[in-house]
Amino acid sequence: MNLLALDTSTEFLSLALTKDDRIFTHYQAAGSAASQLVLPQIQVLLDSANIKLKDLDGIAFGAGPGAFTGVRIASGVAQGLGYGANLPVVGINTLTAVAEASGQHKVIVCLDARMGEIYHAALMKQNGIWLEISDTKVCKPQDAPTLQGDDWIGVGSGWAVYAEKLTQIYAQNLSQSLLNIVSDITPTAEAILRLAQPIFESGQAKPAAEAMPIYIRNRVALTTLEREQGLRL
């Protein structure tokens, strides 16, 4: 299948495009410039693959959770391009994308949610499918849910920001300490493609108009004091 995937839920812009058996990718630290860069870079990928948007079979995107602006950019771009070219879309949970990108099979994903919180999920891969052992949620790092068993690996940016608190929780509550912590794993477009492809192949993709972000956190704005303190959603 010819598929396009994008993620802007973090400070990185990640794109991937498959054409037949080839994959074309773009990954850069974009920050707030992602909204200006995403469409031109998608065109660069399409040109590199010598393919037109209308020749794609679908568009996958990182639906969140993540930075509010970032998940809105990804869902908006997927919706706009999909609607214009009459393409179906698939939104992928970014925590599942982090798990897929890690190359592991039993992970505790923690992403920095800012505001002193983390996005958290525990996932296990069985028969090629990711199962949520602990559902996606937003919480304070000290309130991260405890888990049964050992052999867990911590992945995602939350482990870098809140390493001490998270390590203490799981060292106390798991029968053995964490096997490893890999904090630099992000939700990549390549991982999103791998997760989305069987959904497209099974005919479960949605119309472009249904491309919606996953927010988890209900707050959509900061108070004046929080902005003055440099906090971000």
207-227 confidence digits (pLDDT tens): 999 999 998 875 444 445 545
User: In a 3-state reduction of DSSP, which class is residue 208?
Assistant: helix
pLDDT of residue 226: 44
Find the range with the poorest average confidence among 67-76, 122-131, 157-166, 215-224: 215-224
Rounded Cα distance between 138 and 156, Å, is 14
Per DSSP, 206 falls in state B
- Other Cβ atoms closer than 10 A to 195: 22
Rounded Cα distance between 140 and 117, Å, is 4
Tokens of 138: 């937003």
Q: Is the pLDDT of residue 45 over 80?
A: yes
pTM above 0.75, yes or no: yes
pLDDT of residue 171: 76
Nearest to 131 by CA among 159, 158, 106, 151: 106
Decide if 144 contacts 166 (C-beta within 8 A): yes
Calculate mean pLDDT across residues 121-131.
96
Per DSSP, 146 falls in state P
Calculate mean pLDDT across residues 165-172.
85
Which domains does the chain carry? 3-94+187-228 (3.30.420.40), 95-182 (3.30.420.40)
Q: Is the pLDDT of residue 177 over 70?
A: no
Q: Is the pLDDT of residue 176 over 70?
A: no
Burial class (CB within 10 angstroms; exposed 0-12, middle 13-18, buried 19+) of 17: buried
Calculate mean pLDDT across residues 20-25.
94
Helix/strand/coil percent split, the chain, to 5 = 40, 30, 30
